[in-house]
Amino acid sequence: MTEPAGQMLTWADADQAALAALLRRFGMEIRQVTAATDIPGSFWGDEEAGLKGRCLLLRDDTPVHSALHEACHYICMDSARRDGLDTNAGGDYNEENAVCYLQILLADHVPGFSRDCMLQDMDAWGYSFRLGSARAWFVQDAADARQTLMDWQLIDASGQPSFKLRNDDADKV
């Protein structure tokens, strides 16, 4: 189920059970939306994933990179924003970078997807990084995002996800 070159992996073509199991580790659930229906909670509209509380809303044509990006917003936000979450994840520059970094790490935990596929899909979708590509940013310019994730106890020193949500107490460290 490896992603074909030049085509983004979508929810319809993903290992849905594995992605759902991964997100359950963070207390999230996936709800599928029927084709040609607007996705509730989608900030960007079209096929992009939606967020409402702990629910990630996906349609068959939702790219997996979008699903993981929105899920990582849920993981990285503080509990006050998480409790009132409906559509707009909000967050600042540091959080957005942490989200992007974490979605790349989590891609390796979805069979048939990978870090490489995630980086390609991020570039194809139009994520914008000052070094020109998601890969260049991740390898050469994301030390601040990695440190933020470690400060929030969302990854360990080796870069492995902790499979925890951001704890407000971590912000006081």
DSSP string, 95-150: HHHHHHHHHHHHHTTSTT--HHHHHHHHHHHT---TTSSHHHHHHHS-HHHHHHHH
Amino acid letter, 157: A
In a domain, 93, yes or no: yes
In a domain, 55, yes or no: yes
Domains: count for the chain:
1
Choice among 1-5, 27-31, 103-107, 122-126 with the minimum mean pLDDT: 1-5
In a domain, 4, yes or no: no
Strand 29-32 and strand 55-58: pairing? parallel
Amino acid letter, 90: G
In a domain, 86, yes or no: yes
Q: Give the length of the chain.
A: 173
Mind listing the pLDDT tens digit for each residue in 17-65?
Answer: 999 999 999 999 999 999 989 998 898 888 999 999 999 999 999 999 9
> Which sign does the torsion angle of CA 37, 41, 44, 49 carry?
negative
- Confirm if 167 and 153 have CB atoms less than 8 A apart: yes
In a domain, 3, yes or no: no
Please report the pLDDT score of residue 1 as a whole number.
Answer: 44
- pTM of this structure: 0.92
In a domain, 153, yes or no: yes
Residue 71's domain comprises 11-172
In a domain, 2, yes or no: no
- Confirm if 56 and 24 have CB atoms less than 8 A apart: no
CB atoms within 10 A of CB 18: 15
CA-wise closest residue to 12 among 65, 71, 62, 79? 62
In a domain, 62, yes or no: yes
